[in-house]
Amino acid sequence: MLRPVADGVWAHQSELLRNNAVVVQGRRGVLVVDPGLTADELTCLANDLQDLGEPVVAGFATHPDWDHVLWHAALGDAPRYGTARCAVDLHRLRSTPDWQSRVTEGLPPEIAGDVPLDGFGLVVGLPAGTTRLPWDGPPVRVVEHPAHSPGHAALLIEEARVLAAGDMLSDVFVPMLDEFDDANDPIGDYLRGLDVLERVAGDVDAVVPGHGSVAGADELRARIARDRAYLDALRDGRLPDDPRIGPSAEPGWEWVSDIHEGQAQSVARRREAAGTTD
């Protein structure tokens, strides 16, 4: 169900990964950001919007990860945007003959048969350097940064002072690094992404992360500090003192520690290869 975040802004959360779709009221309909995850959840979102009498007039994918580029026929055929880099990555994926099989193989087994791929990744890339979303609604600032994934961008709904953060600033996931493609400094890229988000924090009263709970302005800054501390420890080869991993992890989310362990091993290999193990 839709839950209000601010005047004219709602969130719709999935069950398995607590993905948050963000809905923004426009003049003739709504903007939908990162809808997901299962067919039933997407249909629920569409039904909620129908009950409000609001058609979908635009969509946005904050980055090209599978759980942020889903769609459903019930949401209509409005233009869906992403950054230029996001669109390039999705086009490259969809250009491979077996792309549907590749996507399906990476889905959580609990929902693999329930995730619709019709409309998957059909995102129009905004011109490089675009800072305003082209839609008939309140001003929405595109805040692109290098953290987590190629072409990642948060959206700042300026009048409502809400930040749709994509896969950043979560209270359930630790920072997840982009360790693929040409990412030579994934920790540095993530720290730079946090710097970008911190520069707009003064314009934000509520942040909606890609996964987890909505937070206010004070908690936004606390999450930035927590993510920086995690990354500093990861870079230095120390065990992070972080409530999202280890014994203090939220029940049912203990597997996030496995994500951390994988990242710690990858960072250690990079340090060793670079000769900086001391």
Q: Tens digit of pLDDT for each residue in 185-235?
A: 999 999 999 999 999 999 999 999 999 999 999 999 999 999 999 999 999
* Residue 69 domain flag: yes
Tell me the pLDDT tens digit for each residue of 3-25: 999 999 999 999 999 999 999 99
Domain count of the fold of the chain:
1
pLDDT for 273? 79
Report angle CA 56, 57, 61 to the nearest 5 degrees.
85
Cβ atoms < 10 Å from Cβ of 234: 24
* Residue 14 domain flag: yes
* Residue 278 domain flag: no
User: What is the chain's mean pLDDT, rounded?
Assistant: 95
pLDDT band, residue 276 (cuts 50/70/90) = low
Distance CA(152)–CA(257), nearest Å, equals: 24
pLDDT band, residue 105 (cuts 50/70/90) = very high
Distance CA(186)–CA(173), nearest Å, equals: 17
List the CATH number of the domain containing 244: 3.60.15.10
How many CA atoms, within 13 angstroms, populate the side-chain half-sphere of residue 69? 26
* Residue 61 domain flag: yes
Distance CA(94)–CA(102), nearest Å, equals: 10
pLDDT for 180? 64
Distance CA(130)–CA(127), nearest Å, equals: 6
% of the chain exceeding 70 in pLDDT: 97
* Residue 158 domain flag: yes
pLDDT for 213? 97
pLDDT band, residue 277 (cuts 50/70/90) = low
Average pLDDT for residues 254-276, to the nearest whole number?
A: 89
Structural domain of residue 134, as residue ranges? 2-273
Tell me the pLDDT tens digit for each residue of 156-190: 999 999 999 999 999 999 999 987 645 579 999 99
Distance CA(134)–CA(271), nearest Å, equals: 43
pLDDT for 27? 96
Quick check: 274 pLDDT over 80? no
Quick check: 242 pLDDT over 80? yes
Average pLDDT for residues 144-151, to the nearest whole number?
A: 95
Beta bridge partners, 215, equal 207
Distance CA(209)–CA(205), nearest Å, equals: 13
Nearest to 164 by CA among 135, 218, 200, 124: 200
Distance CA(233)–CA(111), nearest Å, equals: 33
Average pLDDT for residues 96-102, to the nearest whole number?
A: 96
Average pLDDT for residues 246-271, to the nearest whole number?
A: 92
Distance CA(102)–CA(31), nearest Å, equals: 29
